[in-house]
Amino acid sequence: MTATTVFADECAAPRPGSRTPTLRRYVMCPPEHFAVEYVINPWMDPDAPLDTALAMRQWEELKRTYERLGHTVQVVPPQPGLPDMVFAANSGTVVGSRVLGARFRAEQRAAEAEHFRRWFAGRGYREVVMPSRINEAEGDFAWTGELLLAGTGFRTDPEAHAEAQEVLGVPVISLRLVDPRYYHLDTALFVLEQGERPQIAYYPEAFSAGSRRVLERLFPDAVLADAADAACLGLNGVSDGRNVVLPLEATGLAERLRSRGYEPIHVDVSELRKSGGGPKCCTMELHR
Ligand code: ARG
């Protein structure tokens, strides 16, 4: 009998693109009324030139990218007067049949929450709960398949973490953000692979010392991003377990992901970034 010996370290370094994707269900909202009219994060400058037609083309390309990968994209109708509604990730956290809606910190975005609530109700979701605390949904919540990683410090209230745990019935891990440029968890961390042994990428400097230790404990072999990766909103990625949709400029992070067996796919989000958003901000996932 001939035996093939597989060494442990061979398993640890998968070939680029060798991972298995799973099909995802996304919700997006076209940037029809997109604008930078107010300042609620350090990326936003109402005086800087903005090409709204280009923003639409970039959004369409992002949507096509998901569809090409086999994912489903449902579209929520955009509303006039809500220039940030394109950032669909901020309007709901969905795990299974349970939906936890949003409650925005900024008055200017408050009305988005109700449009999404109605959209969910119209889709037959019966367990839609609107939060009582400030809760910017997947902007600050990342589902690993086992745990809900939850950011606070700039937007979502820490009490909203306990509320999410209660409503969704999943264990929540609170993490503190400390850099105003990385005001939402999804600007500093994203899940590469869901499941029993989830994998994440994150930018350590965006977190408090204690939260960094938590991340090191939970994810000892996470992909660590550097300042350049973070500065183009490279951590605002969307992964299906194999393909990782990233901003064009996140080249260093892409290389590291490739060496871990992921397949980076770059998209141009230059216009959306002027509001502090990237691929993930535009994408809410309906987790199974
Ligand atoms: N201008 C928006 C805000 O500051 C951008 C939101 C980006 N979304 C996100 N998930 N990080 O609220």
- Whole-angstrom distance, CA of residue 89 vs CA of residue 76: 12
φ, ψ of residue 102 in degrees (nearest 5)? -120, 155
Whether ligand 1 lies within 6 angstroms of the CB of 31 is answered as no
| Residues 130 and 120: beta-carbon distance below 8 Å | no
| Residues 282 and 90: beta-carbon distance below 8 Å | no
Section 221-248 average pLDDT: 98
Whether ligand 1 lies within 6 angstroms of the CB of 89 is answered as yes
Nearest CA to ligand 1 atom 7: 277
- Angle, CA 111 vertex, CA 163 and CA 283 arms, to 5°: 70
Tell me what percent of the residues of the chain surpass a pLDDT of 70: 95
| Residues 207 and 181: beta-carbon distance below 8 Å | no
Active site residue 184: yes
pLDDT given at position 287:
96
Tell me the CA distances in angstroms from 254 to 3, 208, 239, 247, one per residue in order. 36, 25, 12, 10
Whether ligand 1 lies within 6 angstroms of the CB of 188 is answered as no
| Residues 188 and 113: beta-carbon distance below 8 Å | no
This prediction has a pTM of 0.94
| Residues 177 and 151: beta-carbon distance below 8 Å | yes
SS3 152: strand
- Whole-angstrom distance, CA of residue 35 vs CA of residue 261: 37
pLDDT given at position 130:
98
Specify the ligand 1 atom closest to the Cα of 281: 10
pLDDT given at position 13:
64
Check whether 127 has a pLDDT greater than 90: no
Section 120-129 average pLDDT: 92
Quote the strand ranges of the chain, DSSP E.
25-28, 72-75, 93-95, 98-100, 127-129, 141-143, 148-152, 172-176, 189-193, 199-202, 223-224, 238-239, 243-247, 263-267, 284-287
Q: Which of 184, 232, 282, 287 is catalytic?
A: 184
Instruction: Give residue 34's pLDDT band: very low, low, confident or very high (50, 70, 90).
Output: very high
Check whether 3 has a pLDDT greater than 80: no
Q: List, in order, residues 6 or more apart from 220 with CB less than 8 Å away.
A: none
Mutate to test the pocket of ligand 1, among 281, 284, 285 (most ligand atoms within 8 A of CB): 281
Q: What are 21-32's pLDDT values in tens digits?
A: 999 999 999 999
Quote the strand ranges of 130-283, DSSP E.
141-143, 148-152, 172-176, 189-193, 199-202, 223-224, 238-239, 243-247, 263-267
For residue 26, the cross-strand partners are 73, 285
- Whole-angstrom distance, CA of residue 58 vs CA of residue 271: 8
Active site residue 282: no
Domains and CATH numbers, the chain: 21-287 (3.75.10.10)
Instruction: Give residue 12's pLDDT band: very low, low, confident or very high (50, 70, 90).
Output: low
Instruction: Compute the distance from residue 14 Cα to the ligand 1 centre, in Å.
Output: 34
Residue from 281, 286, 285 nearest 55 by CA: 281
| Residues 74 and 266: beta-carbon distance below 8 Å | no
pLDDT given at position 14:
74
φ, ψ of residue 141 in degrees (nearest 5)? -125, 130
